[in-house]
Structure 1
Amino acid sequence: MVPMPSKHHAVANAVNEFTVLPLALPPTSSFPKKATHYLYLRPNAPKLPTADTPREVFLVNVPVDSTETHIRALFAGQLGGSRIDRVDFEGARAGKGITAPVTSVKKGRKRKRTDAEGNVSTAEEVGKLPETWDRELHRSGGTAIVTFVDKASSDLAMKEARKAAKAGQEIQWSLVIEAQAKLLGSARYTAHHSLAYPDSAVLQQSVDDFMTAFSAQESARSRALTKQRSVPDSDGFVTVTRGGRAGPAREEEAREKGEELKKREKQRVGEDFYRFQTREKRKAEQMDLVKGFEEDRRRLEEMRKRRGKVRPE
């Protein structure tokens, strides 16, 4: 929010690719003077365009207290009556819920999703925690993307904005919309204090919905992995996934592995666990070899002596 420029200083109606649209802000109790806020807008041109890009308008320096209702009223009432599909403000609260299939009962924004089998079902975010602010504020110089119903509405909005900026038309920031919006100032913080302590039943329902949806997703993922393990692909290969096989074969392998570990443990911790035991065992084996050698030599000497005393018949 900046003061109105004097008549001696002309304000450019375009900066680079942006159209400069002056918004007349009404006096308030905190600032009882008329002021002008400059809004910059141009057709959206992201680096990675989407299917909605042709019908989007990029706004810069949106008023800090603006809402979607304000933006809709601005374009519908004073910029050609263009119809808006949605408004996405910078830094808006990202969804903290989880996507899950829902019934035909309408609650919240839904979207289509495709499961592991390729079936399309309706889904929405569930398990979101309650809001603690009844109205979001934006940072100074914040941005927003306005998505119109079609490209014609987007082009009309830009055409009317350029015409108003070139003619120096004064665009009013509606007082009627502000009166309908949630209150600011101390009333906003009073509402925040009340919303910061939601009912325990509401919190419990949010947690239950989240865990139910999470369990459903885990079950669907497990079924998809099981199908990948059992169905070969087009080349005849079976996808290797985590989890391994299940059933009697796996139990038998586990039993064999346990016996092998027990046998290995016995071999590791035995009579030759310590170094001195290994030396004594090696010495004992050497003594047994020497003793066996001496015994064999004595037996051989006896055989030679007996052979000399034997007389042929």
Structure 2
Amino acid sequence: MSKVPHEVKDYVALPVTIQSKALGKDVKHYIYIKASEPDVPDPDSPRSLFLVNIPVTTTEAQLRHLFATQLSGGHVERVQFAGQHGTASTSSSALIVTTKPAAKEAPTTLGKRKRPTQTTPADIEAKLSSYTLPSTVPSTFHATGSTATAIFLDRTSRDQILRACRKAAKSSKPLIWAAGLAADKIPPLGTSRYEAERRLTFPPRADLLALANDFMSTYSELEAARARESAKRRAEPDEDGFVTVTRGSKGVVKSDEAEAIKAKAKEKQDKAGLQNFYKWQMREKRREEQGALLRQFDEEKRRVREMRERRGGVVPER
């Protein structure tokens, strides 16, 4: 078996030993590490390491443990895996993703009291988009040969870790993957993974109810904020300095259904305005009114005749 070189071009071949319970033996795996040099540099590039061929079950906690415990103790700020964008890493075990409420200001006794800042509809919409359903995946698997970028606190920590990787690649000291890491930080495999996935598929009702209630409360807050913005726009003067007087919505956001009902009523009113426009329409209307009066008079006569007959009276002939 040919010996693996310590460095391949600019990459350091870091050997790690993965203890496999399924195989019943240890497996040696190589992670190739170099200083990050992207085609389009960013402010984090000088303090980042580029990792190739990470294990398929790699998590951020495992990489932090590797650098902090088994190497020179470099402090990792965050880890970005291939296909992951942004600066914050997400956890698959989180059930509800919500926005933290702003800290309340301490009350003061001197000076004018400041009014609380009202949240804009855009802020509330961003908060609504942050709600997610409970995850049904215990952990994420990476494709074989996947890459990641480890971003350290500063460039000194990055260089210190890179020197420690070169030293570990040349020495015979084994690096045990995830050795001493807490059990809850290691992703489940085998039957344990399927059991965890089944548990996550049926989350507790209390968690789902709390998520739904929180979402609907935020949505109601969004409607109220939109109503305030609409009222504020109606109160603003135009270019000539005039304010258009409207009835308004009285704090309720008009829905599409209300607009449809209003349009239908207006159309009916417009049609009613053309009923007595022509003379022949007026003549027909008077003729219909006279006929209705005659029919009502005949009906009253019939009722009077029936009442007299029941009482034994004589009905005069006309």
- Settle same-fold status: TM greater than 0.5: yes
Give the structure-1-normalised TM-score. Answer: 0.57
- Write the distance in 2 (CA, Å) between the matches of 1:42 and 1:74: 16
Equivalent-residue separation in structure 2 for 1:52 and 1:221 (angstroms)? 39
* Aligned counterpart in structure 2 of residue 154 of structure 1, from 158, 163, 166: 158
- The 8 Å contact of residues 80 and 160 in structure 1, kept in 2 or not, is answered as yes
The answer on whether the counterparts of 2:128 and 2:215 sit within 8 Å (CA) in structure 1 is no
- Residues matched between the structures, number: 237
Read off the aligned partner of 2:201 and give its amino acid letter. Answer: A
**In structure 1, how many angstroms separate the alpha carbons of the residues matched to 2:8 and 2:232?**
57
Q: Separation in 1 of the partners of 2:151 and 2:10?
A: 19
The Cα of 1:81 is off from its aligned counterpart by 0.7
Contact 1:86 / 1:146 at 8 angstroms: preserved in 2?
yes
Q: 2:80 aligns with which of 77, 80, 88?
A: 88
Deviation for aligned residue 1:39: 0.6
For residues 178-222 of structure 1, what are the alpha-carbon distances to aligned partners after superposition, in whole Å with 9 as ceiling and x for unaligned?
Answer: 755353210121121122101222112112223333454565567
CA contact (8 A) 2:17 2:26 kept: yes
The answer on whether the counterparts of 2:96 and 2:134 sit within 8 Å (CA) in structure 1 is: no
Counterpart in the other structure of 1:74? 66
Matches of 1:49 and 1:116, distance apart in 2: 35
The 1:96/1:176 distance shift into structure 2, 3 A limit, reads closer
Where do 1:106-117 residues align within 5 Å?
none
Distance apart, 1:37 and its partner CA: 0.7
Give the letter aligned to residue 246 of structure 2.
Answer: G
Is it true that 1:31 corresponds to 2:23 in the alignment? yes
**Counterpart in the other structure of 1:44:** 36
Give the alignment of 1:98-247 within 5 angstroms: 100=99, 102=101, 104=103, 127-167=131-171, 169-177=173-181, 179=183, 181-217=186-222, 220=225, 247=246
C-alpha spacing 1:46/1:216, structure 2 compared with 1 (3 Å): farther
Are residues 24 and 225 of structure 1, via their aligned partners in 2, closer, same or farther at CA, if it must alter by over 3 Å?
A: farther
* d(CA) in 1 for partners of 2:58, 2:164: 20
Q: Which structure 1 residue ranges, 5 or more long, are not aligned?
A: 1-5, 106-113, 237-244, 267-313
Greater Cα shift, 95-104 or 163-172: 95-104
Structure 1 pair 174–200 and aligned structure 2 pair: CA distance change class (3 A): closer
- Bigger Rg, which one: 1
Over residues 89-124 of structure 1, what are the superposed CA-to-partner deviations in whole Å (9 max), with x where a residue is unaligned?
34566999776451559xxxxxxxx9769x9xxx89
Q: Distance in 2 between matches of 1:206 and 1:70?
A: 31
Within 1, Cα distance between the matches of 2:120 and 2:26? Answer: 58
From the superposition, tell whether residues 102 and 13 of structure 1 become closer, same or farther in structure 2 (CA, over 3 Å).
Answer: same
User: Quick one: structure 1 residues 41 and 71, their matched pair in 2 at CA, closer, same or farther if it must change by over 3 Å?
Assistant: same
Structure 1 position 126, deviation (Å): 5.3
Q: Deviations over 1:70-102 (max 9, x none)?
A: 211211122211112223334566999776451
CA-atom RMSD in angstroms = 4.6
Higher strand proportion (structure 1 or 2): 1
Contact 1:100 1:125 in 2 (8 A): no
Paired residue type of 1:33: K
Structure 2 CA distance for partners of 1:246 and 1:79, relative to 1, 3 Å: farther
- Flag the 1:213–1:145 CA change in 2: closer, same or farther, 3 A: farther
Relative distance call for 1:30 and 1:246 in structure 2 (3 A) is farther
Give the share of equivalent positions with the same residue, in percent.
Answer: 32
| Alignment partner, residue 307 of structure 1 | none
Judge conservation of contact 2:60–2:79 (CA < 8 Å) in 1. Answer: yes
